[in-house]
Amino acid sequence: MAQSHYFAAALLFGVGVVATNASAAGLAASDLAAQVRTQGFTCDKPQGAEKNDSASRPNEEVWILTCENGSYRMTVVPDMAAKIEKLDK
């Protein structure tokens, strides 16, 4: 019986992590879209953002932002303007 409680707790924790990651992705998309707009690009209705872990480095995150009207590769460095590249659809 104790094992089933551990399993249930682990399952609930895992669901919480997935929900948190999904929420973080939505938050990241709206934050990145705001950054894109402040730098002169258009991002109508952000659809999502995905971090590219293999291209990211410490203090330099690479994201793919998908908007209704296009996609962007963004290199984000704290306290600096992002490097933004418009991607072909």
Cα 2 from chain centre: 37
- 59/10 Cα distance (integer angstroms): 32
Kindly report the pTM of this predicted structure.
0.70
What residues are paired with 62 via a beta bridge?
A: 75
Residue spans of the domains in the chain: they are: 2-87
Q: What are the pLDDT digits (tens) for 59-86? A: 999 999 999 999 999 999 999 999 999 9
pLDDT for 84 equals: 97
Greater model confidence, 5 or 25: 25
